[in-house]
Amino acid sequence: MNISKAAQATGLTAKTIRYYESLKLISPAHRLENGYRDYNESHLRELSFISHARELGFTLKECSDLLGLYNDNGRKSADVKSLALKKIADVEDKISQLQVIRESLQKLTECCHGDDMPDCPIIDRLAKGKDSTSA
C-alpha cells in the first residue's frame, strides 16, 4: 500500500512515516518501479506499535528499544518491564516538576489584581528571574 493509505491506516502523517523510516525505526519500505514506497502489514504493525508507545510518552530512542524487543522472539519480559518502569519514574518526575510550576503560577496569580491598570506583579516577578516566585 502507498504511504497515504499507510498513514490513514495508522493515524500517522505521511511526513511522520517518512521520518520514522529515515531514522530506521521501521524497516525500509519496498520501492515500486515508479519510486513510490510500498508498505505491507509488517510496516503497519511497526508503525502502530510506535504510535501507541509515543502516546504513552516513550521517546523515539525508547520506541526503538521497545521495537527491538517486540521483534525479538527471544526477548525477556523483564527487559520490557524495566523500560516501562523507567518510563513510570520519568512520568512521576515530570508530575513533580509540573506541580512545582503550578504552585509557582498560583503564587504569581494571587499577587495580581487582574484589573485594568498596567502594573502587574506577574510581569514584575517574571522580569526579576528564577527566584522571584518564592515570595
Give me the residues paired with residue 83 across strands.
none
Give the pLDDT confidence score for residue 131 in this predicted structure.
57
Q: Cβ neighbours of residue 128 under 8 Å, at least 6 residues apart?
A: none
Kindly report the number of other CB atoms within 10 A of residue 47's CB atom: 23
In this structure, what is the dihedral angle of CA atoms 64, 68, 65, 29, given to the nearest 10 degrees? 0
Residue 30's beta-bridge partner residues? 38
Which triple of cell numbers denotes residue 64? Answer: 526503538
- In three-state secondary structure terms, 30 is strand
Please write the tens of the pLDDT for every residue from 67-79. 999 999 999 999 9
pTM (2 decimals)? 0.78
Question: Which residues, including other chains, have CB under 8 Å from residue 96's CB and lie 6 or more apart?
Answer: none
Q: How far is CA 75 from CA 62, 65, 120, in A?
A: 16, 11, 58
Question: First vs last Cα of the chain: how many Å apart?
Answer: 60
Amino acid found at 72: D
**Which of 113 and 47 is assigned the larger pLDDT?**
47
Give the tens place of pLDDT for each residue, 75-132: 999 999 999 999 999 999 999 999 999 999 999 999 998 899 899 989 999 999 865 5
Amino acid letter, 124:
D
